[in-house]
């Protein structure tokens, strides 16, 4: 049975790299993102193996009305970092904006998937967390870190509740060289300074995270409820 993988936040970065990985395996991919131009570029690259839809995962109505026909696997990758906000300036509105996408969005998509999914012998969900869920995130990103910690807790709960039919795991990337880093590492020597704090002495790549996601989706039949760091030894 051909697998069909729904990937949220798939217009660029880790999501797009994951789409490439599952298509290379022979699976079909459904790409969701809020950017139509990014999806158009992804569709042009991946061809007939992919179909796309503009879906805001935090919009319950949009998720409920989306086409999940034939979906067998899910990668909850959509997420936002949010603006850097000092702890003294953190407010409920900022926290809610992060959680609406990173946590509530994951919940809505997972519920829709669980209701619509096609049976498949390797049915699985991969949630994209972050090592920020363990270390709290960098200065000014407490809301992001809290949302990623919530994803870790939800992953373990989902794994228990969906077993044995659907395996559920999460990845916790460290600093990965994706477009979002361009908005953070703006100083000329910023990337070198970041690399100094990573035992592997470099940032990770989206492809490296994607390979781990692909493994969890298809080649880890007795792995569920796990949080796997992809962080080059960084904590």
* Alpha carbon distances (Å) from 38 to 9, 15, 31, 66, 141: 10, 11, 10, 18, 26
pTM of the predicted structure, to 2 decimals: 0.95
pLDDT in tens, 50-78: 999 999 999 999 999 999 989 999 999 99
Which residue in the block uniquely carries the two structure tokens 């953190």? 90
pLDDT in tens, 14-37: 999 999 999 999 999 999 999 999
User: What residues form DSSP beta bridges with 128?
Assistant: 171
Would the pLDDT of 185 be above 80?
A: no
**Can you tell me whether residue 81 is helix, strand or coil?**
coil
Would the pLDDT of 181 be above 90?
A: no
pLDDT in tens, 86-100: 988 999 999 999 999
Domains of the chain: 4-230 (3.40.50.720)
* Alpha carbon distances (Å) from 5 to 14, 57, 70, 218: 14, 16, 9, 11
Question: Is residue 170 within 8 Å of 126, Cβ to Cβ?
Answer: yes
* Mean pLDDT, rounded, for 150-166: 98
What token pair was written down for 21? 């990985």
104 burial via Cβ count (<10 Å: 0-12, 13-18, 19+): middle
- By annotation, the residues acting in catalysis are 144
Closest by CA position to 141, among listed 190, 199, 98, 101: 98
Looking at residue 193, its pLDDT comes to 82
């Amino acid at each position: 049975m051909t697998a069909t993988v729904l990937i949220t936040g798939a217009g660029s970065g880790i999501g797009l790299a994951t789409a490439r990985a599952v298509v290379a395996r022979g699976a079909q991919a459904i790409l969701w993102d809020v950017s139509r131009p990014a999806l158009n570029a992804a569709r042009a690259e991946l061809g007939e193996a992919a179909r796309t839809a503009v879906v805001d995962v935090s919009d319950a109505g949009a998720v409920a009305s989306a086409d999940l026909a034939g979906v067998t696997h899910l990668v909850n990758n959509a997420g936002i970092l949010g603006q850097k906000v000092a702890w003294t300036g953190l407010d409920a509105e900022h926290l809610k904006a992060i959680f609406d996408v990173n946590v509530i969005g994951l919940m809505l998509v997972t519920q829709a998937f669980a209701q619509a999914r096609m049976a498949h012998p390797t049915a699985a969900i991969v949630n994209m967390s972050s090592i920020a869920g363990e270390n709290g995130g960098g200065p000014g990103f407490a809301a992001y870190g809290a949302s990623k910690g919530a994803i870790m807790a939800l992953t373990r709960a989902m794994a228990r509740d969906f077993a044995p039919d659907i395996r559920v795991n999460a990845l916790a990337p460290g600093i990965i060289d994706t477009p979002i880093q361009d908005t953070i590492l703006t100083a000329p020597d910023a990337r070198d300074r970041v690399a100094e704090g990573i035992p592997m002495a470099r940032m990770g790549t989206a492809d490296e995270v994607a390979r781990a996601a692909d493994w969890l989706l298809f080649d880890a039949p007795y792995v569920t409820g796990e949080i796997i760091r992809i962080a080059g030894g960084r904590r």
